[in-house]
Structure 1
Amino acid sequence: MIVRRQGEAFVLIRQHDHARISGLMARHWRNRPEPYPSVVYAIEYHDVGWQTLDHTIHWNETADAPYSFENFPLEPKLIAYREGIDRVEKRDGYAACLCSMHYASFFVDSDEPQAVAFRDRELERQKALMRHFSDEDRSRLKENLHLLQVCDNLSLFLCFNRPGENTHPWYRDGVKLGSSHYRPVWESSHVIRLEPNPFDSSFVAEIPYQVVGRDRRPLSKGSLRVQIHGE
C-alpha cells in the first residue's frame, strides 16, 4: 500500500493502481521508448506482485498505522517482488528484465542476507533473459529502466501528496532522478503540469483510494481524478 496520513485517518492506494498510472504516463511520453509494448508493459505491471498483499490492510502495531510499501516486512515483500516478476516474465521477457532490474536496484548496497539472495537471484535472471534480446534492445535497457523509475516517481508524487499540494519530503524540490528533473506545478486542485513537459498530449489519471480511521474502520472509497497537461 501507499499510505498518506490525513488528520486522524489514512488514505490508502494499492500499489498496482499506482503502477497503472505510471504506465499511462509512459503511453503519453513524448520520446517513445523501444521496444514500445514491452517497456510500457513493464512500467504498467512493475508492482503487480503487490496485488495479493494489498488485498488486505496489514496493520503495523508498533506504529499504530497501516503498513506501507516502505516499512512492510522484508520477507513477504521479497516474495511479492519475485512473484510479480515471475508473472511479468510469463508475458514478456524484456518487461520482466526491466522489472527485475528495478527491484534489484533497491538492494545494491544491502548486506541483509535475504535481500542479497534476492538481488543475486535477480541478476542471474537478468543474464538469462538478456541472451534472448537483440544487441539494440539490450543497449536500451538502461534508458528504459530510467523511464520506468521516472514514471514510477511521478505517479508516486500524485499518490503521496494531497491534490493541489507538494508537501511530501521526497518531492518538495520536484521529481529528480539522475539527470532528469521535473517540477510539478498545480494549476488547480485537480490539474497539474510538469516543467519541462515530457508528455505528447494531455490525459486524465484516475487513482482509486480508500480511507480508514485510526480505529481501523473503513471510512470511504473514491477515485482521485487528475488532469495532466501535455502539448
Structure 2
Amino acid sequence: MIVRDAGDAWQVVLQTDHADLSGAFARAWAEQGPRHDSLVLAAERHDDGWAVWEQSPLVDADGAPVNFLDVQVPAHLAFYRAGIAAIADEDPYAGLLVSMHGAGIYRQRYGEDPGLRLTHADDVAELVEEFVAEQEASARARLDAAGVDDELRWADYRRLQSYDRLSLLFCMRDLEREQPFELGALRIEPRGAWRIGVEPYPFADGARTLELVRRLVPKRGWTQKAFREQFLELEPERLEIVVEP
C-alpha cells in the first residue's frame, strides 16, 4: 500500500487501486505499439501480487501503516513471483512486461528512476540478485512465447514505467504544494488539488478525468490486530483527478 501523510490522517492507496489508475493512463495514451492491449493488461495487473499482502497490511513499531517501499523484501519477492506467473498464464507478453517491471524495481527502473530503492533491499542483497537474475534469464523464453523482439519490449517497458510513475504521482505527492518538476521525459505542472498539466501531452485528445481510490486512516498508534480488522472496512473515497495539456 502507498502511504502519504495527509495531516490529520494517512492517505492509503492499495497497490491494486494504484494499478487501476495506471491502466487508465495506459488506455488513454496516444503512442501505442502493436501489442498495446497486452501493455494495458500489464499496467492494470502489474501489482496483483500485492493483493495477498494487502489482505492484512502491516503497521510499524509506532502504529503507522507500512509504506510499500518499507515492506520486508522476502515477502515482496515471493508475492511478485506469484503475480508474474498468474499474469503470464493469461497473456505471455503482459507477463514478460511485469517480469521486467519486477526486476526493474531493484534496478532503479533500469536507469530511469535513480532514486527508487526499497528500504530493506540491501539487507537481503543475495535474494534480490537471485530474483533479478531469474527474471532476466526468463526473458528470452518469454519473448519467444510472446512473439516479440527486444526493441518492442523495451519500448513497452518504458511506457509501462510512465503509466506507473504518473499513477504514483497522485498517490504519493501533495500536488497543491508542488513546484513544476520533471518525470522522465515529461514536465509536470501542478495546477491545484488533483490536477496537473503535462508537457509534452501524452494523450490523444484533450483533458482527461480519471479516478483515484484512497482510504483516509485516522492517525493513532494502531495495533496490528486493530488495523487488520478495521482498515478494509473503511469506506474508500473515489477522487476525480484531471490531466490536461
Q: Same fold (TM over 0.5)?
A: yes
In the TM superposition, residue 7 of structure 1 has moved relative to its aligned partner by 2.0
2:158 paired residue number? 146
CA contact (8 A) 1:185 1:195 kept: no
2:241 paired residue number? 226
Cα distance in 1, alignment partners of residues 39 and 197 from structure 2: 23
In the TM superposition, residue 128 of structure 1 has moved relative to its aligned partner by 1.5
Query: What one-letter code is carried by the residue in structure 2 that aligns with 1:215?
Result: G
In the TM superposition, residue 87 of structure 1 has moved relative to its aligned partner by 1.2
Higher helix share: 2
Q: 1:199 aligns with which of 203, 215, 222?
A: 203
C-alpha change, 1:115 and 1:98, in structure 2 (3 Å) is same
Question: Is the aligned partner of 1:89 residue 2:102?
Answer: no
Superposed CA deviations along residues 96-139 of structure 1, whole A, max 9, x for unmatched, are 1111111112334977111111112212322221122435x442
In the TM superposition, residue 204 of structure 1 has moved relative to its aligned partner by 1.9
1:175 paired residue number? 183
Superposed CA deviations along residues 159-180 of structure 1, whole A, max 9, x for unmatched, are 112353427xxxx62312xxx1
Using the size of structure 1 for normalisation, the TM-score is: 0.86
CA contact (8 A) 1:8 1:214 kept: no
1:157 paired residue number? 169
Cα distance in 1, alignment partners of residues 67 and 242 from structure 2: 26
| Identity value in percent | 27
Cα distance in 1, alignment partners of residues 194 and 15 from structure 2: 21
Question: Is the aligned partner of 1:52 residue 2:37?
Answer: no
Using the size of structure 2 for normalisation, the TM-score is: 0.81
Superposed CA deviations along residues 59-82 of structure 1, whole A, max 9, x for unmatched, are 111x54211110100111111111
Number of aligned residues: 220
1:98 paired residue number? 97
Superposed CA deviations along residues 183-228 of structure 1, whole A, max 9, x for unmatched, are 2331x42433212211113322211111222233667631221122
Cα distance in 2, alignment partners of residues 49 and 211 from structure 1: 23
CA contact (8 A) 2:181 2:189 kept: no
Higher strand share: 1
Cα distance in 2, alignment partners of residues 165 and 149 from structure 1: 24
1:72 paired residue number? 71
1:129 paired residue number? 142
